[in-house]
Amino acid sequence: MEWYYVGLGLLVLLMLFISIGLPIPFALAAASLPFLWEIQGWSTSVVSSELKLWGVWIDYILLAVPLFVFLGELIGKSNIGPNLYQFLHQGVRVRGSAAYGSIGASAGFGAVCGSSMVGALTIGGVALPEMLRLGYGKRLSSGVLAAGGTLSVLIPPSLILLFYGIVTDQSIGDLFIAGVVPGLILVSCFFLIVLVWGFLKPQDIPSRQDAAKMPLLMILMTIGPIALIGLVITVAIYAGIATPTEAAAVAALLTVILAFAVGGLTWQGFKQAIFATMRTMGYLGLLLSAGVLFGFVLTYHRVPQEFTEFFLSFDLSPTMVLMIVLVFYIVLGMFLEPVSMTFITLPTIYPLMAASGFDLIWFGVVFTVTMEIAVLTPPVGLNLYVIQAISKDDVSIADVIIGCLPFIASMVLLIALLIAFPDLALWLPEQMN
């Protein structure tokens, strides 16, 4: 069977199954099966599917995923995350401190948890009601928190960078460290947006906040856990002491101890964190398994390789190829969530980017920023609905979308900076190596 028949057939079937409401993992598997039967026959395909499913669940590298998710859930169910926001809000005695504190807390949370949605829910659940109570504008409050959650996707450890490394067979440690400088630039851009917003719409930022200062012991109990967990992950991976999976395991165990010792975690909260992790991994596990099956069919029929040769036959410049890919991802991000996009599209796209001469570590950072944009663009922007659900009586989905627009613009600016200055992503990994 010709590669283009397979590629178009997979795409049409996938869109058909998604449009009738089939969950994406099942849609991926269902689209793959007819072509798998054509390759292997019915009985062999069943065994092959079982092996692909089992292989994902026992993959050593993928064990880092539930560990990082569990770590984030523990912080969310304890007081560690909320206390971080309170410290940054109360400790910075400037106009707009709650907005700056939300960004700082999201960045700090991102340094220990790789999930955008968990980050938005944890910090937003505390910060949004407090910001609205203090008199911040609805659009600023919701926009800051929805966009702040995306910092967990870029600042390492990042689940999207982890999945990208698995699909493209790139060093996960290099990908993590490549996201550090762009992540700090994005945090700075978010701070600048709040500052400019305050000048343009002073009514959206109250001149005085009635927050009391935190005692020194509370400050130590707030900063200490986040700093220690982040340090363990960072040093273990970048110093070559442990693999990302081993670092995630040690950090998760440390988080359990700290969450109970200083974070006020209860046994009920601990059980909720376990069940939330199981629910998340139930979906991600099926998605990973179906993605592997989908990728196997693509690879068997050489769809990525043939597509790359076909695309390059148009003699487009590398910059034009990159622009087309970025626009494709931004549009697709309006309809699919980032993890699904990663496993559906990357097996075909990354060979094209490599053949066009782009560094795959650099492209991993650019890809991740486009995934940040995806969680903020309607109609399927996950962070939009997470933040709106926190205060649905006070904030409309339109408020969240409009509030996110300046932050989306800053992400587009970051992509432009990465294209103009690739060393923003590549310099630090080169120095570490």
pLDDT tens-place values along the chain, 433 residues long: 678 788 888 888 988 988 888 888 888 888 888 888 877 777 777 777 777 677 767 777 778 888 888 888 888 788 887 777 777 766 666 777 888 888 888 888 777 776 777 777 778 877 888 888 888 899 999 999 888 888 878 887 788 888 899 889 898 888 988 999 999 999 999 999 999 998 999 888 887 655 566 666 777 777 788 888 888 888 887 777 888 888 889 989 999 999 898 888 899 989 998 998 888 888 877 888 888 788 878 888 888 888 888 888 888 889 999 999 999 888 888 877 788 888 888 888 999 999 999 999 999 999 999 988 988 888 767 788 888 888 777 888 888 999 999 999 999 999 999 999 999 999 988 887 6
CA distance 230 to 226: 6
Tell me if 368 sits within 8 A of 154, measured CB to CB.
Answer: yes
**Helix crossing, 382-390 with 397-420: angle to 10°?**
140
Q: Residue 153: CA atoms inside 13 Å, Cβ hemisphere, count? A: 31
Tell me if 193 sits within 8 A of 410, measured CB to CB.
Answer: yes
What's the distance, CA 129 to chain centroid? 24
Give the model's pLDDT for residue 152: 79
Give the model's pLDDT for residue 271: 93
Buried b (16+ CB within 10 A) or exposed e, 197-210: bbeeeeebbbeebe
Give the model's pLDDT for residue 93: 66
- Residue 154: other Cβ atoms inside 10 A: 29
DSSP secondary structure code for residue 209 in this structure: -
R_g of the chain, CA atoms, integer Å: 22
CA distance 258 to 66: 19
CA distance 64 to 284: 13
Vertex 365: Cα angle to 359 and 369 (nearest 5): 140
Give the model's pLDDT for residue 407: 94
Is omega for the bond preceding 157 within 30 degrees of 0, making it cis?
Answer: yes
Tell me if 247 sits within 8 A of 236, measured CB to CB.
Answer: yes
Task: Please give the residue range of the domain that contains residue 229.
Answer: 3-432
Which sign, positive or negative, has the C-alpha torsion 108, 110, 113, 119? positive
* Both tokens assigned to 418: 């990465």
Give the model's pLDDT for residue 414: 95
What total of structural domains would you count in the chain?
1
CA distance 82 to 91: 14
At 365, is the secondary structure helix, strand, or coil? Answer: helix
* Both tokens assigned to 34: 């007819």
Q: Give me the helices (H) in 239-266, please.
A: 244-261
Which sign, positive or negative, has the C-alpha torsion 362, 367, 373, 375? negative
**Helix crossing, 397-420 with 180-200: angle to 10°?**
130
CA distance 332 to 371: 10
